[in-house]
Amino acid sequence: MKTSFLTICISFLSLGASAQISQADFANPENKYKPIPLWFWNNTTVKETELLDQFHQMVGKDGYGGCAILPFGQDFKPEYLSDDYFNLYGKIIKEAKKLDVHLSLYDEYGFPSGSMGAINADGVPRFMNKYPDATIKRLDKVEYKVLPGDVFEQAVPAGKLMSVVAMDTLTKSRISLKQHIRSGKLEWKVPEGAWKIMFFVCVKDGDPNVDYLNPEAVKLFVKETHLAYYDRFPSYFGNTIIETFFDEPTMYRAKGRMWTEKFNEQFISRYGESPELLYPALWYDIGEETQSARNRLFGLRAHLYAEGFMKTIAEWASAHGISSTGHQDQEEIANPVSVSGDLMLCGKYMDIPGIDKIGGGRPTELFYKVVSSSANNWDKRQVMSETYGAMGNISVKTLYHIAMEQYTKGINTLIPHAVWYNDQNVTFLPELSWRNELYRDSLPAFNKFLSRLNYILQQEGRHVADIAVLYPIESLQGEHVLDGELGFYEGGVIIPNTDYTHISALLTDTLGRDFTYLHPEVLSEKCRVEKGLLHLDNQVNKETFRLLIVPGVKTISLSTLRQIESFFQSGGNVIFTTQLPEKSVEPGRDQEVKDKIARILAAGSSASGKAFFIGKPAPDALRAAITESCRVPDVAFEEGAELNYIHKELKDQSVYYFANLKEKPYRANVVLRGKLKPVLLDPHTGQQAKVAYKHKNVHGMETTTVVLPIEKNSSVFLIDNIH
């Protein structure tokens, strides 16, 4: 393209007091935007003089904005939650107040949160010792094959009996045998058929962590931990202590069969009927009702987990003037049903949904969008990532590379892992302080860089993307079984045709298209269809989508599918990939699902909307369908010159953050929808610069073409006043 044919406008926008983003504040953000690292008090006796010296160095030399104190290891002293421990903790709180920096209240000794020191600590199960009945429960299945005509006699296994069912393995017929129990013993004459008898009992697992599914148990954990800090330091909550942080709770404990004794009562309350005849579906195909049964059982368990642990902590935090954040363990498992339950749903009850980017080859980057979309779905302002743990002594370039990718995918609060009190005994490198010569000279600039990203991307505003992607939790729940061949730590089961992370990577990393996952609950209950657009009607994060992608799903709820059909009929565009829906979450409604899908695809583009099915989603096929669906995209790159980016609209400004993660400088035209007058801000230097742009009408819409320059392994902001 020759510039002689263009009218190039050069603009230098002075961002004054009337704007939300100030260039001066961007260059030198307030302390509240500085990153707060985990500070391990690890495997040694911590002492006041050295503590205070290290804290001053972290704040003064490294440029951190405070800390999250994490007691860790067998040899940590003084004793956890003792008077001596709180005396030292209080010294840091008071010093933080003097320095106008902040503390994040880490809620455990070691991790995961929930045992008060049993794991990655001194091994003392303090919580279990005090509240043995408030710890994790497990669902066990005890089964017997029987022959027709037999009189089956068997004592009921120990534990709380949730269900006892006879199932004909050929016809899938199921019978409750509860009425045949007398004095703790089942007696039943077996009829004709291929019968199997199954007892389902809820037992205490022996795991020392709190029963995450039980809010009353979690309140006991909160009383012993969070409240112990509040009782001693109440005046610092909400000013110096700004949040509480939980670490790595998970449902893969109890062999992936975490359960709770009140499950049946909760099920009856939610669905109006007993779940007893559905229990075999947790392990077996029970016929046409299988996917529906699993969605109700696993779906309820996911709700109990999110509401039992995350919601209980968030409510306590809110009542005490602080925010709640944290993250699950094993977030990078594509099938989360027996790991985090429903990873998006976990964020619903957190003030700041979070994730953990850790070493060991875990592909966490495929799940940043799940957690940031959770925040978008439920109108949260911040998204956290605990980052760099167990990655080893990575390069400074890698520090930046990971951070830039995270922030383009919706993270806006990075918690560095970690600073170590005893830097001679670091369990999980890197050690990110002035004492490590690999980072000593780079940390101040890096933390200033993070502060600038936080300053802009933590501002209240809405995320802008043309594309929504259905989060396929209903299909994952429908195909999940307990005791899967992968083992509980890896999620148990690989669900065939699960492609949502593949679609995510294609969109953001290959095609340069940002998107938001929509949870089925949110699509059904919080979204509105109007004239070919899908509106997410939040108070702040009001998103509008022109295209909905339904990744490979076998099972879908009718409420979700009705919304998709309504969007399509109003002129919206829909892309299905890999696997078309064929099963219903609602029992006995499979044919309705098949009929609706057939109607949408038969209409094709004859209706006002367009519908596509891409059986093998690859870049070219997906690009073509998206281009046909969105003629004037929010952000468009030259093919082969795509970038990772995020676009947000603040109160009176539009903000774009672009990251060039490649090994060569970037200079290409980027087309933005709307008539903009952008200015460039460099988060690496804090400087403001001119940018060349032109305006053009495309398909009846105003656009702005920007000649965007970015150095290799670098990033920039474009800021505009919205017109």
Q: Which CATH number covers residue 405?
A: 3.20.20.80
Residue pointed to by tokens 């320059």: 709
Same structural domain, 692 and 602: no
Q: Which of 626, 661, 694 is the last residue of a domain?
A: 626
Return the CA Rg of the chain: 27
CA distance 348 to 371: 10
Same structural domain, 233 and 379: yes
116 contacts 177 by C-beta, under 8 angstroms: no
Inside any domain, residue 142 = no
Same structural domain, 491 and 614: yes
| Domain carrying residue 708 | 3-16+650-721
Count of C-beta atoms within a 10 Å radius of residue 381: 17
CA distance 302 to 346: 8
Determine the pLDDT at residue 360: 87
Inside any domain, residue 274 = no
Inside any domain, residue 232 = yes
Q: What is the DSSP annotation of 649-708? A: E-SSEEEEEEEE-SSS-EEEEEEEES----EEE-TTT--EE-EEEEEEEETTEEEEEEEE
Residue 515: CB partners within 8 Å, gap ≥ 6? 369, 465, 466, 467, 468, 469, 504, 507, 508, 549
Element (H, E) at 55: helix 48-60
CB burial class (10 A; 0-12, 13-18, 19+) of residue 222? buried
End-to-end CA, the chain? 27
Same structural domain, 610 and 666: no
Of the candidates 291, 184, 375, which has an alpha carbon nearest to the alpha carbon of residue 554? 291
Interior CA angle at 263 toward 262 and 264, to 5°?
95
446 residue type, one letter? F
Beginning with the edge strand found earlier in the chain, give each strand of the sheet holding 527-530 in spatial order: 527-530, 533-536, 543-545
CA distance 87 to 55: 15
34 contacts 101 by C-beta, under 8 angstroms: yes
Number of H helices, E strands in the chain: 19, 38
CA distance 552 to 498: 6
Residue pointed to by tokens 């670490």: 247
CA distance 433 to 420: 8
Inside any domain, residue 326 = yes
Determine the pLDDT at residue 13: 37
Determine the pLDDT at residue 606: 61
Inside any domain, residue 363 = yes
Inside any domain, residue 145 = no
Same structural domain, 375 and 445: yes
Residue 41: CB partners within 8 Å, gap ≥ 6? 69, 70, 71, 72, 76, 421
Backbone angle region of 158, left / alpha / beta, with phi > 0 → left and psi within -120 to 50 → alpha? beta
Same structural domain, 318 and 406: yes
Same structural domain, 615 and 685: no
Averages of pLDDT over each 10 residues, the chain, 723 residues: 32 41 94 98 97 98 98 97 98 98 98 98 98 98 96 97 98 97 96 97 98 98 98 98 98 97 97 97 97 98 98 98 97 96 97 96 95 98 98 97 98 98 97 97 98 97 98 98 95 96 98 98 97 96 98 98 96 97 96 96 77 96 94 95 97 94 96 95 96 94 96 96 54
Distances (CA, A) of 15 to 18, 142, 456: 8, 69, 13
230 residue type, one letter? Y
Interior CA angle at 64 toward 60 and 69, to 5°?
110
Inside any domain, residue 204 = no
Same structural domain, 657 and 622: no
Q: Is 532 helix (H, G, I), strand (E, B) or coil?
A: coil
Determine the pLDDT at residue 15: 39
Sort strands 185-189 and 181-182 into parallel, antiparallel or unpaired. Answer: antiparallel
Give CA 306 to chain center in angstroms.
12
Number of domains comprising the chain: 3
Give CA 602 to chain center in angstroms.
36
Same structural domain, 10 and 54: no
DSSP letter at 269 equals H
Inside any domain, residue 153 = no
Same structural domain, 592 and 685: no
Q: What is the CATH number of the domain that holds 709?
A: 2.60.40.1180
Determine the pLDDT at residue 604: 66
Same structural domain, 74 and 223: yes
CA distance 392 to 430: 5
Residue 707: CB partners within 8 Å, gap ≥ 6? 667, 668, 669, 691, 692, 693
CA distance 15 to 21: 7
Same structural domain, 527 and 576: yes
